[in-house]
Structure formats: structure tokens, C-alpha cells
């Protein structure tokens, strides 16, 4: 786990990344707080997104919305208009293609909504190809300058919405990882799809069409360093057993992705939960 620190007291401190080793039974926050005391200064964390996989049981949850919106425009003043969402999100991470904001890369931007159709895009940015779970930004929040040109939301492409690093050898034989996602989407025939993955290998996938959302629950059962049983978890089903061949002796990741079939659709990851238990 790495945590980025910045000073909140005005005292001299080296800003950067500090490694934290989490021993079995020690919670992440306790480990980070212990590091705060060792450093001897009041510090604020700007990134705290790692999942410890060293304890016998771990759980990681997120409830900050992550949105893949319909195609639209970010105005010069940072305002964005979207297809009516189910509620007014006080704050959410919204996916935007490159150059939707001036000089902006493709990825998620913190957006504060004033209604179900209107929000203000901020400069806080997340590259989804790096480790990421949703959080509420702190410190100075600056409104982005929009390109004022229409952008097109990608279709037919898995967009990473949650990305959790798995260190090499962090999942041992007999380990179970359960993943849960709750999503919201419009009731329309075009598919809105959520997937759970081990690296690039699908654990389970659910497409939503004529519904306004639902859930996906999957299980990953480790048989050996290069063999896993993958699939949906919970309700009884008739389906072939899916065997994964991901090399867990090397670093990998647990990923939640979203995909739209039409640029008029949207997908909201409302919340997720990931648990790990050693058998």
C-alpha cells in the first residue's frame, strides 16, 4: 500500500509516498495512523485506495457514485448537461473522453451536481488505468474549463470504474474473493453492462436493458497460483464452470468495468463491496 501525504499545518515536511506494511489482523487505517505518529506531524491523505490482502479476512466497500454518462458537452464554465439521472448526486466521479475539458485526459472527473441533469466538472482527475476506488476530494476544488465542443462517450468498450492492485502471491490456495456491484441505468433496449474481472479475465458479467438497474455478485475461488474457479455467486444457475488461468504469482488486479452500447445511455456504479477470506 502507498499513501500520498501533504502537509496541513504549514510545517516543513517532505511530500511524497510512504510505504505501509499491513500485518495480519491490523486494519489499514490503524497502520496509516501509526505512520502519522511516526512522522510526527498532522498530515492529510490525498490518496488512500489500496486493499490489504495480507490479513485472513478483508473487506473493502465504496459508496461514492461513479458515472459513465451519455455523450454531451462540457461548457467553457465547466457545466455539463446529462440525461436525467435518478437523483441529484452531491458529488460523483464522471467519465469524460480526452479533451472534453481543455487539455484534459480521458478518465474520471469529480463533478458536483445541482440537479439530476446538470453538474459542474472540477479539475480533480483520476486515471482509471491506475489503482482507484472512489473517494471525496479534499482541499481546494477548482472548476474545470470545458472545451465547449461535443464529446462522444465510447461504446462497446469496457471502461474501468474500480481498479484494485493485487500484489504478487497475495491470493493463496483456498482463498475466496466475493465481489458485489449495485448499478443504475435507464430503461432502454441498448445494453448497459457491468463486469468483474481478475486482471483482464472476466469473473462475471451482467447486461441491463429494460430495467433501471440491478446487481452483479461474483465469486473467485483460488485452486492454485495459476488456476481459479470464476463465476456468479448466490442464486442457483445452470452454466458451465469457468476456469481462470491467471498467474497469481505475479501482480494482478481486481477490476469493475462498465460498458455502454449506445451514446444515449448511462451507467452509474452506485456502490460496491469486495471481501476476501482464506479457507
Tell whether 116 and 180 lie within a shared domain. no
Tell whether 88 and 168 lie within a shared domain. no
Give the residue numbers spanning the domain of 35. 2-48
Q: Which of 18-22, 127-131, 184-188, 233-237 has the lowest mean pLDDT?
A: 18-22
Query: Does a structural domain hold residue 10?
Result: yes
What are the tens digits of pLDDT across the range 240-252? 789 999 999 999 9
What are the tens digits of pLDDT across the range 102-154? 999 999 999 999 999 999 999 999 998 899 889 999 989 999 999 999 999 99
Query: Does a structural domain hold residue 54?
Result: no
Question: Residue 46: enclosing H or E segment and its boundaries?
Answer: strand 43-47
How open is the CA angle 184-132-117, to the nearest 5 degrees? 35
Query: Does a structural domain hold residue 229?
Result: yes
Give 222's contacts (C-beta < 8 A, 6+ positions apart).
Answer: 171, 172, 173, 174, 175, 176, 177, 228, 248
pTM of the model: 0.80
Tell me which of 134, 151, 168 is where a domain ends: 151
Tell whether 144 and 171 lie within a shared domain. no
Amino acid at each position: 500500500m502507498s499513501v500520498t501525504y501533504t502537509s496541513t499545518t504549514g510545517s516543513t515536511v517532505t511530500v511524497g509516498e510512504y510505504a505501509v506494511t499491513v500485518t495480519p489482523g491490523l486494519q489499514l487505517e490503524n497502520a496509516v495512523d501509526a505512520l502519522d505518529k511516526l512522522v510526527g506531524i498532522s498530515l492529510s491523505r490525498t490518496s488512500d485506495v489500496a486493499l490489504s490482502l495480507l490479513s485472513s479476512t478483508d473487506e473493502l466497500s465504496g459508496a461514492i457514485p461513479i458515472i459513465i454518462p451519455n455523450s454531451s458537452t462540457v461548457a467553457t464554465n465547466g457545466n455539463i448537461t446529462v440525461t436525467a439521472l435518478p437523483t441529484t448526486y452531491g458529488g460523483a466521479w464522471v467519465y469524460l473522453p480526452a479533451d472534453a475539458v481543455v487539455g484534459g485526459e480521458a478518465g474520471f472527473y469529480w463533478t458536483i451536481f445541482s440537479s439530476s441533469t446538470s453538474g459542474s466538472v472540477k479539475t480533480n482527475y483520476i486515471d482509471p488505468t491506475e489503482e482507484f476506488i472512489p473517494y471525496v476530494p479534499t482541499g481546494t476544488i477548482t472548476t474545470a474549463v470545458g472545451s465547449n465542443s461535443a464529446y462522444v462517450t465510447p461504446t462497446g468498450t469496457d471502461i474501468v470504474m474500480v481498479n484494485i492492485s493485487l500484489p504478487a502471491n497475495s491470493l493463496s490456495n483456498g482463498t475466496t474473493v466475493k465481489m458485489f456491484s449495485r448499478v443504475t441505468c435507464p430503461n432502454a433496449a441498448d445494453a448497459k453492462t457491468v463486469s468483474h474481472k481478475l486482471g483482464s479475465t472476466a469473473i462475471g458479467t451482467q447486461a441491463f436493458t429494460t430495467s433501471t438497474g440491478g446487481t452483479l455478485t461474483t465469486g473467485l475461488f483460488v485452486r492454485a497460483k495459476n488456476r481459479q474457479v470464476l463465476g456468479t455467486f448466490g442464486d442457483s444457475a445452470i452454466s458451465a464452470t469457468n476456469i481462470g488461468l491467471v498467474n497469481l504469482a505475479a501482480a494482478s488486479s481486481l477490476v469493475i468495468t462498465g460498458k455502454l452500447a449506445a451514446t444515449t445511455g448511462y451507467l452509474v456504479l452506485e456502490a460496491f463491496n469486495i471481501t476476501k477470506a482464506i479457507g
